[in-house]
Amino acid sequence: MSENRVKFGLSNVHIAKITENNGEISYSIPFKMPGAVSLTATPAGESTPFYADNIKYYIATSNQGYTGELGLAITPEEFLKEILGQVSDTNGALFETAEDKTARFALMGEIEGDAKNRRFVYFDCTATRPSAEMNTTGESTEPQTDTISITMAPRVSDKAIKAVIEPNETNQEIYNTFFNKVYEKDSVKDAE
C-alpha cells in the first residue's frame, strides 16, 4: 500500500458523532478538531497459547481495537457539547455536570509521510473528559495541552475498527473528500 518509509505530522483531526437507531449506526457530518498535538493508539486484546506435543500448538488472538490518547492545544467546545454532553447557559458559560451523557463517535485524521499522506478513521470511539495541565508562566512560556483518553472499539455491526487510505490514481476523488463523511468500505464518489 505505502511508498512511505516514515510517518510524521498529525493534522486534520475530525469527529463524527454516532447515532444508533434499532442497531443501525449513522454518522453526523464530521467537524474539525483544531490544535491536534498527538494521537496514540495501543492495541487492545490478547493472545492465548494452547500447548500440545510439548510446543505452542495453537495461539488464539483477539482484536479488541485500541486504547489511546488524543492531545490537543485546547479541547474544542463543539466536542465538549456534541460528544461529552456539556451545555452552555444563556451567558455562554459551559457547564459540566455529573449527569452529562457522552456519545460515541468516529475519529478521523491525517498523518504525513515522506511520499504520501495517509488518512485514517476509527469507526466506533468513546472518550473521557479531557485532563488539563495548568502552570504559571516562568521565564519562558510553554503552551499547556489537554489530553482525552479514547477507546477505539470494533463496530458492532461489522466488527470494523479502522480504515487507512493513501491517494493513488483510482481513489483520488475519494481521498480528496475523505473528511466530508465517514468513509465506508468500497465507498464511491458522491453524485453531484
Domain boundaries, the chain: 7-135+142-180
Phi, psi (rounded to 5 degrees) for 180: -75, -30
Residue 23 confidence (pLDDT): 82
DSSP the chain: ----S-EEEEEEEEEEEEEEETTEEEEPPPEE---EEEEEEEE---EEEEEETTEEEEEEE----EEEEEEESS--HHHHHHTT--EE-TT--EE--TTPPP--EEEEEEEEESS--EEEEEEEEEEPPPEE------SS-----EEEEEEEEPPTTT---EEEE---TTTHHHHHTGGGS---TT--PPP-
For residue 2, pLDDT beyond 70: no
Q: Are 156 and 23 a contacting pair, CB within 8 Å?
A: yes
Angle, vertex CA 65, rays to CA 32 and CA 4, nearest 5 = 65
Q: pLDDT tens for residues 148-169?
A: 999 999 999 899 999 999 999 8
Taking alpha carbons only, the member of 110, 102, 136, 157 closest to residue 12 is 110
Burial 145-156 (b: 16+ CB within 10 A, else e): bbbbebbbbbbe
Residue 190 confidence (pLDDT): 63
Q: pLDDT tens for residues 106-145?
A: 999 999 887 789 999 999 999 999 997 777 777 877 888 9
Q: What is the pTM of this model?
A: 0.88
Residue 105's pLDDT band (cuts 50, 70, 90): very high
